[in-house]
Copies of this chain bind each other. A is one copy, B any other.
Amino acid sequence: MITIRIQPEDFDVAAEIAALDAEDTGAVATFTGKVRKEGNLAALTLEHYPGMTEREIARIVDQAEDRWPLLGVTIVHRIGRLAPGENIVLVAVATPHRSAAFQACEFLMDYLKTKAPFWKQEERNGETSWVEARHSDDKAAERWRDR
């Protein structure tokens, strides 16, 4: 089962894993991205492109399904204002065996980071600024091209 949700609300990892459950599941890998509690960071605000976000994530999941035998995928990405310590994103993947679970989960995160239309704005000392894209994220996504 494929679940893709964009929402302001937090998510419950255990409930999302339980919902993934399939007969053949032997392995579940999850990734949770959180707002780091760092120095003067007051909050992150996540903006997105409604419509395209869901389409783009569905395309990324399609690509993952072409590569690995996925029994279930859940992607939840939060939007709006998030305080340090709060969850931002969850990727959960169920597969028969562990290697595919790890690889698919990392692939989905790498592609989410570089393809899904979200933008982060930081609040520090009462000032806001847009987070710059990181070259290392592009490199992480490129690794998958030749595999």
Contacts and interface: CB of A to CB of B under 8 A. Distances in A.
Contacts of A33: 26-27, 98
Contacts of A96: 36
A4 to B, nearest CB: 19
Nearest to A136: B99
Which secondary structure dominates where chain A touches chain B? mixed
A31 B140 contact: no
B28 A34 contact: yes
A38 interface: yes
Contact of A29 (B15, B27, B31, B36): B31
A99 B26 CA distance: 23
B28 A98 contact: no
Interface of A: 12-15, 17, 21, 23-38, 85, 96, 98-99, 101-102, 105-106, 109, 140
